[in-house]
């Protein structure tokens, strides 16, 4: 019940009189302290709360409200201590766990914040505030599924909770559960929600479902509601591009750049559009701009590397992939691509070093799924090819066989590489040194995709010289003269 200030001060006056008559009356003094809190008279409220605690050290409410008072005045350490004392007296005191979790979150200690908020929820499962806080904390920690569970529980408690509907819709969108996301977002819309974010997420869902006309409609609405949001306009451009309307898409991205010339994503998308329109100089220019805006933006470097390869400039492509390799050292893909680029540039020593190192690294763990097996197969095939071009045909063929074992379709899936990187003389060289049926089998598979016009990289002999294997034998010990 709301009480105006005049009435509240009258109540305070009566409570002060009662406390003066009965100074050890804990309940009356606590009411007086809470009344002062409502009047925002923190010092008087704290004085009476501390007096209550002096009279009754185990008074849970006094410790709790003292924590609230400290928190309201920005003294978070004192607030934490007060809430901890409350919990020491009552481990199931949900509000204290909740506020303690909030303080830990403000301090950046997400694990402690989650732990306390979980206790708040468990102590009072119907506490929507605790569940909301926990849902947000799980999201911040990357625990998407746990967050989703909390928001769904909130919707059971409050089916019309718009915050929960928006968050469930957003999470479903991120999980690519587009139909589920749309159902939830449209529920929010029917309840009167009219936010830019709602229509933005609807647009993403329709894009995921390849319903581009609906995506454009939703994203246009999102842009109308929040015209200054350049991300929405950038995504609207993507929807137009995916629908095949490149020119309109480019117009949207240019609008973004007119407002913010340094917008990375609009610049990148514009570069992709120039690639699509075969305007390579402009594509390279926008790619270079992306890298200048953010040297760690890997997609732009990948595109620049592709442009360099298409122009025959392997050194430039290698420079970009070396940068990518440094930015993403845990991924094997940059190292594999570097191996191929060095091979195609004619630097067989570097190619051999990189591919051998990668084969050894990947060989430490057996691949578990299809993607890992394909990666292993591609690496074995590349390494085998480099070995062959370096004059080790039998070792090379052994690695080709491993590629086949990891992926029976390796040759078909590597047909692009084969057509540009394996020349007829190299294949004949392999045939001449085949020793097993497996050797001959992989040669047959690869031969289907060899282009008769393919030439070896510059500086690489069409027919490699066979590397002699080192002979290992006994060596007599020779005692030197004294």
Token output for 344:
């195609």
Token output for 308:
């360099």
Residues in the chain: 482
Between CA 443 and CA 441 the distance in angstroms is 5
For residue range 172-211, list pLDDT tens digits in order. Answer: 999 999 999 999 999 999 999 999 999 999 999 999 999 9
Distance in Å from the first CA to the final CA of the chain: 108
For residue range 242-299, list pLDDT tens digits in order. Answer: 999 999 999 999 999 999 999 999 999 999 999 999 999 999 999 999 999 999 999 9
How big is the CA angle at 350 (ends 348 and 353), to the nearest 5 degrees? 105
Q: Quick check: is 201 in a domain?
A: no
Where is the domain boundary, 274, 309, 327?
A: 327
Compute the radius of gyration of the chain from its Cα atoms: 34
Strand, coil or helix: what is 342?
Answer: helix
Domain that holds residue 253: 245-327
Where is the domain boundary, 42, 72, 90?
A: 90
Please check whether residues 283 and 353 belong to one and the same domain. no
Between CA 402 and CA 405 the distance in angstroms is 5
- Residues whose CB is less than 8 angstroms from the CB of residue 254 and which lie 6 or more positions away in sequence, other chains included: 266, 270
CATH number at residue 270: 1.25.40.10
Q: Quick check: is 289 in a domain?
A: yes
For residue 224, is pLDDT > 70?
yes
Q: How many domains does the chain have?
A: 3
For residue range 320-339, list pLDDT tens digits in order. Answer: 999 999 999 999 999 999 99
Task: Please choose, from the candidates 480, 473, 410, 467, the residue with its C-alpha nearest in 3D space to the C-alpha of residue 442.
Answer: 410
Q: Classify each residue of 359-386 as buried b or exposed e, where b means 16 or more C-beta atoms within 10 Å of its C-beta.
A: beebeeeebeeeeebbbbbbbbbbbbbb
Where is the domain boundary, 46, 74, 90?
A: 90
Q: Quick check: is 127 in a domain?
A: no
For residue range 429-469, list pLDDT tens digits in order. Answer: 999 999 999 999 999 999 999 999 999 999 999 999 986 54
Please check whether residues 269 and 281 belong to one and the same domain. yes
Between CA 23 and CA 52 the distance in angstroms is 10
Residues 413, 334, 358, 466: is their CA dihedral positive or negative? positive
Token output for 235:
């995504």
Task: Please choose, from the candidates 40, 37, 30, the residue with its C-alpha nearest in 3D space to the C-alpha of residue 60.
Answer: 30
Q: Are residues 188 and 169 in contact, defined by beta-carbon separation less than 8 angstroms?
A: yes
Neighbours of 197 (CB within 10 A): 17
């Amino acid at each position: 019940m709301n009480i105006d200030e005049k009435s509240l001060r009258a109540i305070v006056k009566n409570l002060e009189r009662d406390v003066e008559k009965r100074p050890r009356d804990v309940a009356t003094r606590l009411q007086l302290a809470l009344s002062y809190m409502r009047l925002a008279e923190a010092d008087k409220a704290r004085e009476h709360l501390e007096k209550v605690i002096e009279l009754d050290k185990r008074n849970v409410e006094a410790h709790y409200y003292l924590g609230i008072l400290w928190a309201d005045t920005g003294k978070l350490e004192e607030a934490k201590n007060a809430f901890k004392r409350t919990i020491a007296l009552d481990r199931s005191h949900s509000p204290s766990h909740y506020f303690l979790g909030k303080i830990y979150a403000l301090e950046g200690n997400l694990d402690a914040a989650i732990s306390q908020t979980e206790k708040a929820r468990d102590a009072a499962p119907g506490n929507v505030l605790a569940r909301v806080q926990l849902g947000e904390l799980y999201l911040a920690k990357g625990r998407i599924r746990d967050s989703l569970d909390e928001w769904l529980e909130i919707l059971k408690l409050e089916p019309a909770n718009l915050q929960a509907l928006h968050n469930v819709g957003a999470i479903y969108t991120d999980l690519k559960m587009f139909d589920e996301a749309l159902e939830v977002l449209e529920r929010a819309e029917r309840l009167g929600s009219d936010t830019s974010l709602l229509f933005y997420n609807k647009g993403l869902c329709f894009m995921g479902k390849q319903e581009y006309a609906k995506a454009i409609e939703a994203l246009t609405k999102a842009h109308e509601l929040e015209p200054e949001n350049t991300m929405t306009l950038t995504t609207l451009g993507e929807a137009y591009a995916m629908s095949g309307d490149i020119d309109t898409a480019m117009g949207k991205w240019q609008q973004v750049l007119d407002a913010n010339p340094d917008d990375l994503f609009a610049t990148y998308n514009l570069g992709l559009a120039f690639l699509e329109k075969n305007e390579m100089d402009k594509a390279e220019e926008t790619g270079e701009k992306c890298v200048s805006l953010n040297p760690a933006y890997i997609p732009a470097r990948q595109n620049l590397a592709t442009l360099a390869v298409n122009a025959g400039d392997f050194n430039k492509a290698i420079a970009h992939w070396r940068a990518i390799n440094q930015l993403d050292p845990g991924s094997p893909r940059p190292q594999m691509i570097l191996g191929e680029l060095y091979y195609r540039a004619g630097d067989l020593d570097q190619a051999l070093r990189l591919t051998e190192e990668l084969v050894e690294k990947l060989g430490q763990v057996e691949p578990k799924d299809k993607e890992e097996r394909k990666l292993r197969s591609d690496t074995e095939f590349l390494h085998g090819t480099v070995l062959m071009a370096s004059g080790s045909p039998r070792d090379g063929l052994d690695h080709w066989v491993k590629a086949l074992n990891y992926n029976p379709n390796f040759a078909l899936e590597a047909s692009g590489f084969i057509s540009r990187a394996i020349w007829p003389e190299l294949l004949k060289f392999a045939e001449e040194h085949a020793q097993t049926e497996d050797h001959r089998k992989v040669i047959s598979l690869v031969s289907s995709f060899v282009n008769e016009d393919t030439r070896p990289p510059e500086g690489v002999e069409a027919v490699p010289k066979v590397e002699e294997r080192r002979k290992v034998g006994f060596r007599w010990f020779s005692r030197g003269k004294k």
